[in-house]
Structure 1
Amino acid sequence: MNFQPSDKSQDYLGQLNTFMTTQVEPVEQDIIQHHARNERLDWREWQVCPQSEDLKNKAKRAGLWNLFLPDNQLGQGLSCLDYAPLAERMGQSLIAPEIFNCNAPDTGNMEVLYHFGSESQKQQWLTPLLAGEIRSVFFMTEPQVASSDATNMQATIIEDGDNLVLNGRKWWSTGLGHPNAKVGIFMGLSNPDNERHSQHSMVLVPLDTAGVNVQRMLTAYGEYDAPYGHGEVHFDNVRVPKSNLIMGMGKGFAIAQGRLGPGRIHHCMRAIGAAEKSLQLAIKRGTERVAFGKPLLQLGGNLERIADARIAIDQARLLTLSAAWKIDHVGVKNAMTEISAIKVVVPNMLEQVVDMAIQLHGGAGMCNDLPLSRFMAMARALRLADGPDEVHKAMVSRLELAKYQHKERP
């Protein structure tokens, strides 16, 4: 295995770092304040930030656009391993991923359409998503079942002539509150008599379709995460044409498997970037502030905590790069142990590093003057999003035990 970024990756990282330093970071706090003002409004009144849109146009002109997509025409042709350090750099900022059209859930939805969508679906939805003209939503989690087992989904997809009829309730649907959100991917039970992982399908649903009723946005640690929003939405006899079905009936889990592998690399590398930023802030605070006649870093075991953070971040990065390398070279199916492992390791690492940084900052660490409180919310949310820790540990243990199962003798 060779985790050294390619020359192409290093070149893009240099360009990205310059853009972040000169264009994004000087106005980041202004954009965050704009989002904070949105938080005080009804979600239907949320507005995009003009500064953010200006930065998107600059990023597009600079060729720092759709960096996540391994396509030379539609993206920049970067492999999963090549993209990983770029995602880490973006993760040091609360606003950067959208600036480069590399934010969830849009990246995952674009990957679904890129790999599994029909030509007409690509033309209607993928093209404007890649251009950053619209945003999208992923409808999967449900409020009335234990969604850690995705086969529990009760929302239904029923064939009716040339249409599909959708019913059910979804929540924690990220992106639903964004003013530019126009379409969502709905996953529901379509073939209940099939094998349990062949019972569900994915369908494209324009958000202005009759029967799509947004009930509310949900707070995460007291905030609405404007302008994206994590919403609850009820589908009441929503009718869409069969042409909106992705790949085929019963193919939902097969699609999800392809979607989640690279997506987890993206999530984890952004989280590693957030951990690096947290460590940087902790060291700055610990060297500049004095208590009891000494810099904070000289007190209460803080030097050891800095060392622990450095070690944990580097370990998490290496494991994530290993997963990215395996996805590139042997495919998602052969990287399932690593993909599940990083989904456990990285958010827990971020949670520990951010907690240390908050402790060093005292009250300043808990308010939004710094990104630490939002990084903590991110870390805690990632331990649930895309499957809780326990599900991924179960996957790792199942794959590990399978190595020791001997075939029965004939």
Structure 2
Amino acid sequence: MSSHPIVEYTSPSSWALIEDKFSPFAKETLAKLIRFLEEEVQPALPVAAAQLPPGPERWKTVLPVIEDLKAKAKALGLWNLFLSKVHYPQHGVPLTNLEYAVMAELLGRYGHISSEATNCAAPDTGNMEVLARYGSPAQQKRWLLPLLNGEIRSAFAMTERFVASSDATNIQTAMRQEGNEIVINGHKWYASGAGDPRCSIYLVMGKSDPSNTSAYKQQSVVLVPADTPGITVVRQMHVMGYDDAPHGHSEIVFKDVRVPVENLVLGWGRGFEIIQGRLGPGRIHHCMRSIGAAQQALDTMILRMTDPARKTFGKFLWEHGTIIADLAKSRAEIESARLLVYSAALQIDKVQAKGALKEIGIAKFTVPSMALEVVDRAIQAFGAMGVSQDTELAQSWANLRTLRIADGPDAVHLQQIGQRELKRAAALRAKKDQLTKREEAAIKKWNVKAQL
């Protein structure tokens, strides 16, 4: 059995399945990441909470402890781990998606701070992938390089308040070209990351050709600097009562916002192509981190169950059969979901996200629901403390519940996977007909009566 420290965080069986797929560089990076998270990030969590001020100042604050962590992570080479050289040779790091999947699970155990400290936080990750894959050289120089360096942050503005944005063809934000400028008018909300004082660029999706006969060629993506005249940040939205400051989820109005036509990404009518390229990796990154959140909740639950000071009805918590069953179910579900994520990551490495839509979709509607259930069991074990601010469980539950809506609701992914399965019906029926003919021939040959 491997002595790699990752075994303490996952399981011997999970690591044994993929250890031979890890390069020496990836194993070394993984070991460094574990030490960094244990020795630097974990002690910084209460410090970060203390450094975030109350009131409006929380939206103007860059937490010093996170900036310190970023400098340390960059010096250790624990930086932009999500951007694989497999798909981004010019800007990426020598890690596969599978190798990053294991690292992202670890990041997920420590909330958003660990991801930001290593420059692996959404929505910057998805935006960097868009710019790396589709951006022009000028766009990459102005926006991608500062994002890769962690000098600025970004937001992705697609969801709209007054339409059903789970169907992106409904998006109504208008984009039109006037001379050498693009004019934008629209009302967005839940633009994650827009509350951060370092947010310098929005990637905005809007309708540029509403008369196009293809609903999937009506949309475009445009780069809009956050300080462009005509932008009004209406408010910061809450997620189950949490405002996630200073990151934020902003409601934004674009009123006659003008940017140079050079800010168009890839070309007119290419919006759906861009968001599919963006959301695929983003969805699996969320799933990777969700595994970590679930594992962290399980570990917290075990500590609670074995606390010698905790007894109910004359028994320790671990002596109650129901909570032992919860523990077993949680372990089994985490192990199963982890393998789903590994499968999707391997497929992305082989055929990119576009060729792994089935695996990503299954993971997307399976993993967050699993993690949500595990966290809920941990909350139940803690009782009142589980829903308080004294553990990370309540906020973890809120984040995971939101994830069942973000990047495509569960219902959309279930519909897509179900439709994919239905496409196999013709082949299955043909195979069944062929088998029936063979059975009939065998019955005739042996002159027996079928017992059906």
Same fold (TM > 0.5): yes
Residue in structure 2 matching 1:244, options 243, 263, 281: 263
Residue in structure 2 matching 1:324, options 339, 345, 352: 345
State the distance in 2 between where 1:54 and 1:44 align.
18
The corresponding residue for 1:26 is 43
The one-character-per-residue Cα deviations of 1:49-82 (angstroms, maximum 9, x if unpaired) are 1111011001001100000111366342211111
Matched, 1:110 2:128: yes
1:173–1:54 CA distance, 2 compared to 1 (3 A): same
Could you tell me whether the CA contact under 8 Å between 1:138 and 1:173 is conserved in 2?
A: yes
Matched, 1:54 2:73: no
Could you tell me whether the CA contact under 8 Å between 1:44 and 1:177 is conserved in 2?
A: no
Could you tell me whether the CA contact under 8 Å between 1:66 and 1:74 is conserved in 2?
A: no
Matched, 1:223 2:233: no
Matched, 1:264 2:286: no
Matched, 1:64 2:82: no
Matched to 1:236, the amino acid is K
1:44–1:99 CA distance, 2 compared to 1 (3 A): closer
1:44 Cα deviation after fit: 7.3
1:150–1:240 CA distance, 2 compared to 1 (3 A): same
Could you tell me whether the CA contact under 8 Å between 1:350 and 1:379 is conserved in 2?
A: yes
The corresponding residue for 1:41 is 55
1:3 Cα deviation after fit: 3.9
Percent of aligned pairs sharing the same letter: 47
Residue in structure 2 matching 1:255, options 258, 262, 274: 274
Indicate the SS of the match to 1:48. Answer: coil
The one-character-per-residue Cα deviations of 1:356-400 (angstroms, maximum 9, x if unpaired) are 000111111112221111110111110000010000001101111
The corresponding residue for 2:182 is 164
Could you tell me whether the CA contact under 8 Å between 2:242 and 2:395 is conserved in 1?
A: no
Residue in structure 2 matching 1:124, options 115, 139, 142: 142
Could you tell me whether the CA contact under 8 Å between 1:3 and 1:322 is conserved in 2?
A: no
The corresponding residue for 1:395 is 416
Could you tell me whether the CA contact under 8 Å between 2:161 and 2:187 is conserved in 1?
A: yes
Indicate the SS of the match to 1:183. Answer: strand
Residue in structure 2 matching 1:141, options 159, 165, 190: 159
Residue in structure 1 matching 2:376, options 327, 331, 355: 355
1:45–1:382 CA distance, 2 compared to 1 (3 A): closer
State the distance in 2 between where 1:12 and 1:307 align.
31
Q: What are the residue-to-residue correspondences of 1:273-292 with 2, within 5 Å?
A: 273-288=292-307, 289-292=310-313
1:261 Cα deviation after fit: 1.4
The corresponding residue for 2:109 is 92
Matched to 1:6, the amino acid is F
State the distance in 2 between where 1:21 and 1:320 align.
24
The corresponding residue for 1:101 is 119
1:93–1:44 CA distance, 2 compared to 1 (3 A): closer
State the distance in 2 between where 1:293 and 1:13 align.
44
Matched to 2:269, the amino acid is G
Matched, 1:293 2:314: yes
Greater Rg by CA: 2
Q: What are the residue-to-residue correspondences of 1:375-390 with 2, within 5 Å?
A: 375-390=396-411
The one-character-per-residue Cα deviations of 1:248-269 (angstroms, maximum 9, x if unpaired) are 0000110111111111111101
State the distance in 2 between where 1:78 and 1:334 align.
19
The corresponding residue for 1:315 is 336
The corresponding residue for 1:15 is 32
State the distance in 2 between where 1:210 and 1:201 align.
20
The corresponding residue for 1:187 is 205
1:45–1:175 CA distance, 2 compared to 1 (3 A): closer
Could you tell me whether the CA contact under 8 Å between 2:91 and 2:132 is conserved in 1?
A: no
The corresponding residue for 1:209 is 228
TM-score of the superposition, structure 2-length normalised?
0.87
Matched to 1:192, the amino acid is P
State the distance in 2 between where 1:75 and 1:333 align.
19
The one-character-per-residue Cα deviations of 1:103-137 (angstroms, maximum 9, x if unpaired) are 00000000000000000000000010011010000
1:226–1:192 CA distance, 2 compared to 1 (3 A): same
Could you tell me whether the CA contact under 8 Å between 2:159 and 2:189 is conserved in 1?
A: yes
Matched to 1:52, the amino acid is I
State the distance in 2 between where 1:73 and 1:86 align.
22
Q: Provide the aligned C-alpha RMSD in A.
A: 1.6
State the distance in 2 between where 1:325 and 1:27 align.
33
The one-character-per-residue Cα deviations of 1:269-324 (angstroms, maximum 9, x if unpaired) are 10100000000000000011222232212225111100000011111110111011
State the distance in 1 between where 2:180 and 2:349 align.
39
Residue in structure 2 matching 1:196, options 215, 236, 239: 215
Could you tell me whether the CA contact under 8 Å between 1:46 and 1:226 is conserved in 2?
A: no
Indicate the SS of the match to 1:301. Answer: helix
Indicate the SS of the match to 2:239. Answer: coil
State the distance in 2 between where 1:185 and 1:333 align.
21
TM-score of the superposition, structure 1-length normalised?
0.96
When structure 1 is superposed on structure 2, of 273-282 and 25-34 the one drifting more is 25-34
1:165 Cα deviation after fit: 0.5
State the distance in 1 between where 2:136 and 2:292 align.
35
1:246–1:31 CA distance, 2 compared to 1 (3 A): same
1:140–1:45 CA distance, 2 compared to 1 (3 A): closer
1:400–1:45 CA distance, 2 compared to 1 (3 A): closer
When structure 1 is superposed on structure 2, of 142-151 and 41-50 the one drifting more is 41-50
The corresponding residue for 2:391 is 370
